[in-house]
Chains A and B, each alone.
Chain A
Amino acid sequence: MTLKNKLLASTVGAIALMAGMATAEPLRIGVEGAYPPFSQKEADGSLSGFDIDIALALCAELERECELVEQEWDGMIPALIANKYDAIVASMSITEDRLRLVDFSEKYYQTPSRFVAAEGATFELTPEGTAGLKIGVLRGTTLQCHVEKAFPDADLRLYNTQEDVFADLVAGRLDMQLNNTLQAIDGFLNTPQGEGFAFLGDNVDDPECLGEGTGIAVRKGDELAAELSTAIAAIRADGTYAAINDAYFDVDIYGE
């Protein structure tokens, strides 16, 4: 359970990178902080995770000073548009809906999403089979879009953070939840909390809602998108990406 401010983006701290820094304004990056192992808060309040490391690596590649700005998930895009930060590195999928409001870099990873329910659950993932079932997802995600479209009769519960979703799944308030498979494994199933729970059904196949990979969002027309795409390609090529990837996952999560 997190008791944190709702809409106020709190500046987490400037992180100086490398000697001989470029003199430009620091690049402000919006991150989430409640989505382990992609983005999480350590006991001392510092941020860590795959998204955070990628963000810092990209800053180093661009030779820009960076500042991480924490923002709760459902205000992520509005805060970007309101100029609270310049880019979002928060496991955000590139979807049609979002492309109407923001631009994206090329993807920096791509992993599927899948339902999680109590071990041995036999829910049928059809509109009839899920009617009345309590399904929890993070508010304002591609998964909300998918559940509303594919399972209109389910009792959809929307949460502020993914940690709250897991808490209610464990408490028995939810029949199942849907999110990114890697996050579900490392943030829940492989933790003591996730004992007795397992994946249900196949990976979700819904490109219209779920998009094609996870990118870095920037404001419409910002040339930062192209710079970030080049930087992603560069850290892929020089082994930085692989090093970060291997620190968190057994497989390369970049996808095809």
Chain B
Amino acid sequence: MEPEQSFYDYLKNISETQSPIDFVLIYDNLDRFVDGALVTLQLTFLALLVGGIIAVPLAIARAYRKPFLSPAIRVYTYVFCGTPLLVQVYLFYFGLGQFTAVQESFLWDPILSSPWWCVMIAFTLNTAAYTTEFLRGAIETTPHGEVEAAKACGMSPYARMRLVVLPSAFRRALPAYSNEVIFTLHGSVIASTVTLQDLLGVGRWLNGRYYLAYEGFLTAMVFYMAIVFMITFAFRLAEKRFLGHLRPRETPQPGAARVAA
């Protein structure tokens, strides 16, 4: 392991002589940061997955203005989009935990007593609320011609929804959804306030353990940036694939070339 040894010495040398930041400490605790990143990714993407699945029927009910259902869903999305995520997590974690009735109910163990579940429930409901609203917008803006064409082909309402309206709405919602994914990732730092060791939690642990101000937060920041970079990249690929028909053409049209010649 000769090269690694020398890299370590290099870090040690820099940390001791030139840098105000202790790179050795960060290097020694990298495995903790990786574990923290896994917790962050797990929370973010599980919440997005479950929240996304919940959002689809809610968005359909909203878009088609189902009586009773639509106003009720509107109240839910208004509450969850209109209040800070931190407050929602505190309500589930500290708020519910104060009631003896909740502590004695079947939900306490293993669900509401665990910080992981409290955070998961709050994140899922939060992202489901946001996703419902912009998916509703995307469904409402389905071009009327597409629906008419589907009807003319004799598709049932269910087939129209499954084969025409939803695929088209998902495509239109894609750019907005990339923001939602990144916001959910950013919001996941709230997990560290209720004792979960996510990325920020590990950063705070490092700072707290060694009484530092920068090392833990800077390392967490680099990890978050790397994750955001990968998310952005994945969405760019997805947009290329699914929204390709909306991009300006890259090659000149054959006709245009002939005119130039």
- A-side residues, CB < 8 A to B, are 1, 3, 74-75, 77-79, 81-82, 97-98, 101, 136, 139-140, 144-145, 148, 157-160, 164, 167-168, 171-173
Contacts and interface: CB of A to CB of B under 8 A. Distances in A.
Contacts, number: 58
A78 B213 CA distance: 5
Given A158-B195, A171-B103, A172-B103, A74 B208 contact: yes
Interface stretch (B90-98, B226-234, B235-243, B251-259): B90-98
Interface residues of B, number: 21
A139 B216 CA distance: 14
8 contacts: A74-B204, A74-B208, A97-B211, A136-B195, A145-B209, A158-B205, A171-B97, A172-B113
A97 B211 CA distance: 8
Given A172-B108, A173-B97, A159 B211 contact: no
Given A168-B97, A171-B98, A74 B207 contact: yes
A78 B206 CA distance: 13
B98 A75 contact: no
A85 B201 CA distance: 26
Given A82-B213, A157-B195, 8 more contacts: A75-B213, A78-B207, A78-B213, A140-B208, A157-B115, A158-B195, A167-B97, A172-B113
B210 interface: yes
Interface of B: 90, 94, 97-98, 103, 108, 113-115, 193, 195, 201, 204-205, 207-213
Contact of B208 (A1, A139, A157, A164): A139
B211 A98 contact: yes
A22 B207 CA distance: 37
Given A78-B213, A171-B103, A140 B207 contact: yes
Given A1-B90, A75-B213, A140-B211, A171 B205 contact: no
Contacts of A157: 115, 195
A101 B210 CA distance: 9
A173 B94 CA distance: 11
B187 to A, nearest CB: 15
Which of A148, A157, A168, A171 has the most CB atoms of chain B within a 10 A radius of its CB?
A171
A168 B98 CA distance: 9
A159 B113 CA distance: 16
